[in-house]
Amino acid sequence: MEARRKNQGEKPVGTVGKIRLGKRTVLIPEMNRAAALLLAATFRGFGVEAKALETYKGLDLGKEYTSGKECYPCQVTLGDILYFVQKEKERLGSAFDPGQYVYFLPESDGPCRFGLYNRFQRIVLDSFPGLNRLTISSITTRDGYSFSGILEKDKVLDFQKSGYVAVVVADIMDRLLWRIRPYEKKAGMADEFIEISLHKLEKTFEKHGPTKDFNKILDEVVRITEEGKTLIDPKIPPKPLIGMVGEIFLRTHVQSNQEIIRLLEKYGAEVVNASVAEWANYVSYDGLRNAKAQVRLNLKQLRFSLLWSKLKELLGFGIDLYYKEYRQNQVYKRVEPVLDLVGDHKISHLEEILKEKDLFSFDVATEACLSIGSIISCSRAGYNGMVNVYPFTCMPSTTTSAVVKPLMSELGIPYLDAPYDSSIQPSREAAIRTFMYQAEQHFNRHGRMRRNSAH
């Protein structure tokens, strides 16, 4: 409590920002288990010691050192790093040296509080003796999550490429789990299989990530998909397909969302959650969009000195987006002949939908433009219901809810808002059961989307 009182109104003392990782151990918050494990493995391949933080065991600590006004993901991630420190102190005793670690916490530009998590957490860490030496290193959406300044110059581009493939492969592993689990031959098989497969992939990324030997990585992904397919019981008929959108942390962090996908599956759903790569692609897309607007403005105002730097930005974001879409497509195409996993959409497709319906604008930014666009895209593609998962009071997701609710009732597609703040809501399961009853009715009347297509 003393530290909590102390951190009110303080300024950061320790380091936060684009900090070189060096020889220290990088601690990666586990938002999405697959992505955290594969990203840590990619770091290790590039010679940087890295590990995914244990998650959700320190929630009480996260709550103790926040005021309650912060977003729920901020409490969860703060709890994770404080829990790590506590356990590491117990393990190492006087040999514990906070200067040996770098806490990796990306940030986002724009109207959201996500841009402030790392600064706020810096203040909290500074309030503990010695923890100002535990560095917080961030990548930012401002430069499209570039690792320049974080890794050695000659490793930056290669790491970004391999890191992105790690994120897409993690998405594939999640989609494989959601494809198998509702149809598994024996309860528990799918979860166990995916966990084992992730550890195999860690080794693959450690070995082939640094050389960008993506074919070898994809060979392993195909092998895993082939094996995963054998767990499906062909006698189980297709189930209603439910799409999930929302705030990226909550919809991918299974502990925070109280395993909502598993709960939906319990009541008869097959679920496809929005991908993690969607956000990475959006960051490049948004950077490109802003750079285009700046080029137009500077041309109009004949400000040629600024024009050149904006043209360089435009080119950089353009190449980045092209690369990401190309790689993502390549990964999905490799698994497509093996198993009918649902593909991913292009961000430009979502913006076209918003423009066509004049519902919302990408100028506002945030995840609302992705969620609103995705909900309409999935509804058109033949999903039987949509769920919006988010932290209680989350600004973009509340906006999403307000915009899409009337539209969904007009379209006759079941829709559910699922806000979370760590408390147990007794009516949650009843709401999901009712939602799944409606989705089942929709499925019986209209059938469902063909798999293997993007929405």
For ligand SF4, the closer CB: 71 or 242 = 71
For ligand SF4, the closer CB: 116 or 189 = 116
Separation between Cα atoms, residue 337 and residue 326, nearest integer Å:
18
* Cα dihedral 413/392/395/109 (nearest 10): -120
Residue 29 binds ligand SF4, judged by CB under 6 A: no
Residue 73 binds ligand SF4, judged by CB under 6 A: yes
Alpha-helix residue ranges (DSSP H) falling in 382-427:
395-411
Residue 112 binds ligand SF4, judged by CB under 6 A: yes
Shortest separation between residue 80's beta carbon and ligand SF4, angstroms? 16
For ligand SF4, the closer CB: 123 or 394 = 394
Indicate the DSSP class of residue 344. -
Shortest separation between residue 62's beta carbon and ligand SF4, angstroms? 14
Segment 390 to 409, residues that bind ligand SF4, using CB under 6 A: 391, 394-396
Segment 162 to 221, residues that bind ligand SF4, using CB under 6 A: none
Separation between Cα atoms, residue 309 and residue 330, nearest integer Å:
32
Separation between Cα atoms, residue 369 and residue 389, nearest integer Å:
15
Shortest separation between residue 393's beta carbon and ligand SF4, angstroms? 7
For ligand SF4, the closer CB: 112 or 177 = 112
For ligand SF4, the closer CB: 113 or 212 = 113
Sheet holding 50-52, edge to edge: 16-17, 135-137, 101-104, 25-28, 50-52
Q: What are the angstrom distances between the C-alpha of 194 and each of 43, 170, 221, 225, 230? A: 21, 10, 11, 10, 13
Shortest separation between residue 368's beta carbon and ligand SF4, angstroms? 9
Separation between Cα atoms, residue 50 and residue 26, nearest integer Å:
4
Shortest separation between residue 392's beta carbon and ligand SF4, angstroms? 9
What count of residues does the chain have?
Answer: 455
Separation between Cα atoms, residue 330 and residue 234, nearest integer Å:
28
Shortest separation between residue 87's beta carbon and ligand SF4, angstroms? 26
Decide if 37 contacts 169 (C-beta within 8 A). Answer: no
How much is the CA Rg of the chain, to the nearest whole Å?
A: 22
Shortest separation between residue 153's beta carbon and ligand SF4, angstroms? 31
Contact flags string 312-351 toward ligand SF4, x per CB under 6 A: ----------------------------------------
Residues binding ligand SF4: what is the number (CB under 6 A)? 11
Residue 107 binds ligand SF4, judged by CB under 6 A: no
Separation between Cα atoms, residue 108 and residue 112, nearest integer Å:
8
Decide if 18 contacts 135 (C-beta within 8 A). Answer: no
**Which residues are within 8 A (CB) of 141 and not within 5 positions of it... i.e. 6 or more apart?**
107, 108, 109, 110, 283, 286, 287
Query: And the tokens for 25?
Result: 């151990």
Q: Which stretch binds ligand SF4 (CB under 6 A): 1-9, 112-120, 201-209, 403-411?
A: 112-120
Exactly one of 18, 57, 63, 113 binds ligand SF4 (CB under 6 A); that residue is 113
For ligand SF4, the closer CB: 109 or 152 = 109
Segment 38 to 67, residues that bind ligand SF4, using CB under 6 A: none
Exactly one of 48, 71, 277, 376 binds ligand SF4 (CB under 6 A); that residue is 71
For ligand SF4, the closer CB: 167 or 394 = 394
Residue 12 binds ligand SF4, judged by CB under 6 A: no
Shortest separation between residue 75's beta carbon and ligand SF4, angstroms? 10
Exactly one of 114, 183, 193, 285 binds ligand SF4 (CB under 6 A); that residue is 114
Residue 366 Rama label (left phi>0; alpha psi -120 to 50; beta):
left
In 55-92, which positions are buried (b, 16+ CB within 10 angstroms) versus exposed (e)?
Answer: bbebbebbbbbbeeebbbbbbbbbbbbbbbbeebeeee
Decide if 332 contacts 348 (C-beta within 8 A). Answer: no
Strand partners, 51: 27
Shortest separation between residue 253's beta carbon and ligand SF4, angstroms? 11
Question: Among all chains, which residue has been given the structure tokens 């990548």?
Answer: 139
Exactly one of 30, 247, 270, 313 binds ligand SF4 (CB under 6 A); that residue is 247
Question: Among all chains, which residue has been given the structure tokens 């203040």?
Answer: 123
For ligand SF4, the closer CB: 117 or 415 = 117
For ligand SF4, the closer CB: 317 or 420 = 420
Applying CB under 6 A, the residues found at the interface with ligand SF4 are 71, 73, 112-114, 247, 367, 391, 394-396
